[in-house]
């Protein structure tokens, strides 16, 4: 049976017109909403938050759309959350549709939200899509007396060859905080850094552990002159400071002290565990709660 070129062309036109032909999910040809990070940074700035505020931290929402939907509803219903931080792994395979579905869920939040890229988001063309949809992998903002820093720590996905974590970015943050505090004394007293993978995880560039810790020590609220603290429960043993880190990736909720010096890392479980963290930032110190919904 012969198929003429004219008939084949007509069939292809029919299929395309009926939207039976779709783009490859890993093509990277994303043309939807973009620059969401900048958009939400501006939203947070317009809130004019002072030195006391409350935020939620969620992470690893990959493929768990129903659980994420319920988390958004739960956060919206609280009435005390000023903004939300997301610790990465928005997607499972870095596919465009995954990014779009999760974007739609997170955009139901009544308050601004910020994200950091996870290792699953870097698969296939995912990093390219993330950079278009959200923007920079590393960025920061000041809220009240706190410098909030988002940093990409998914080094394994780049065979540890890329500048991850970006120490030039961290050096700029250290300089910015120092210069700001020289102009106006103690205007930045806290630091909150959020990332996907923590130090000592296989995703993190552990060859740079010592350097990373040195950079942390130069940010407001951290210090490298405190006594070593070897504790499985560092919070209960009085090591809490005005600075801390947030991470995900490991799908469990823990408080970690990876450098044994009181620099705390609050690790949150994946959203399938129906868990998120809430932090209440005060002028002096902070408190936090583990929310199970």
Per-residue confidence in pLDDT tens, the chain, 293 aa: 444 545 544 444 444 444 443 445 555 565 677 899 999 999 999 999 999 999 999 999 999 999 999 999 999 999 999 999 999 999 999 999 999 999 999 999 999 999 999 999 999 999 999 999 999 999 999 999 999 999 999 999 999 988 999 999 999 999 999 999 999 887 999 999 999 999 999 999 999 999 999 999 999 999 765 555 555 555 545 456 789 999 999 999 999 999 999 899 999 999 999 999 999 999 888 999 999 99
Distance CA(83)–CA(80), nearest Å, equals: 9
Structure tokens at 216: 């942390």
CB neighbourhood size of 44 (10 A): 21
Query: pTM value?
Result: 0.87
């Amino acid at each position: 049976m012969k198929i003429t070129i004219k008939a084949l062309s007509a069939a292809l036109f029919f299929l395309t017109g009926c939207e039976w032909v779709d783009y490859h999910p890993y093509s990277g040809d994303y043309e939807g909403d973009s620059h969401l990070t900048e958009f939400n940074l501006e939203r947070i700035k317009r809130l004019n938050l002072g030195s006391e505020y409350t935020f939620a931290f969620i992470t690893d929402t990959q493929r768990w759309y129903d659980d994420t939907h319920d988390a958004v509803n739960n956060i919206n219903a609280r009435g005390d959350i000023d903004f939300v931080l997301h610790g990465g792994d928005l997607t499972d395979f870095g596919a465009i549709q995954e990014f779009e579905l999760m974007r739609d869920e997170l955009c139901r939040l009544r308050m601004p939200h910020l994200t950091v890229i996870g290792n699953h988001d870097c698969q296939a063309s995912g990093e390219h899509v993330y950079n278009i949809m959200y923007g920079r992998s590393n960025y920061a903002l000041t809220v009240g007396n706190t410098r909030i820093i988002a940093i990409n720590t998914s080094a394994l996905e780049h065979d540890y060859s890329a500048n991850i974590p970006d120490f030039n970015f961290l050096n700029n943050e250290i300089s910015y905080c120092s210069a700001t505090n020289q102009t106006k004394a103690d205007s930045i007293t806290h630091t909150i850094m959020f990332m996907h993978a923590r130090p000592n995880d296989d995703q993190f560039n552990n060859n740079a552990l010592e350097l990373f810790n040195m950079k942390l020590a130069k940010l407001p609220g951290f210090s490298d002159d405190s006594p070593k603290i070897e504790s499985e429960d560092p919070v209960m043993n009085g090591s809490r400071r005005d600075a801390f880190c947030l991470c995900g990736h490991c799908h469990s909720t823990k408080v970690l002290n990876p450098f044994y010096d009181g620099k705390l890392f609050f690790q949150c479980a994946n959203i399938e565990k129906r868990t998120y963290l809430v932090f209440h930032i005060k002028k002096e110190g902070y408190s936090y709660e583990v929310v199970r919904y």
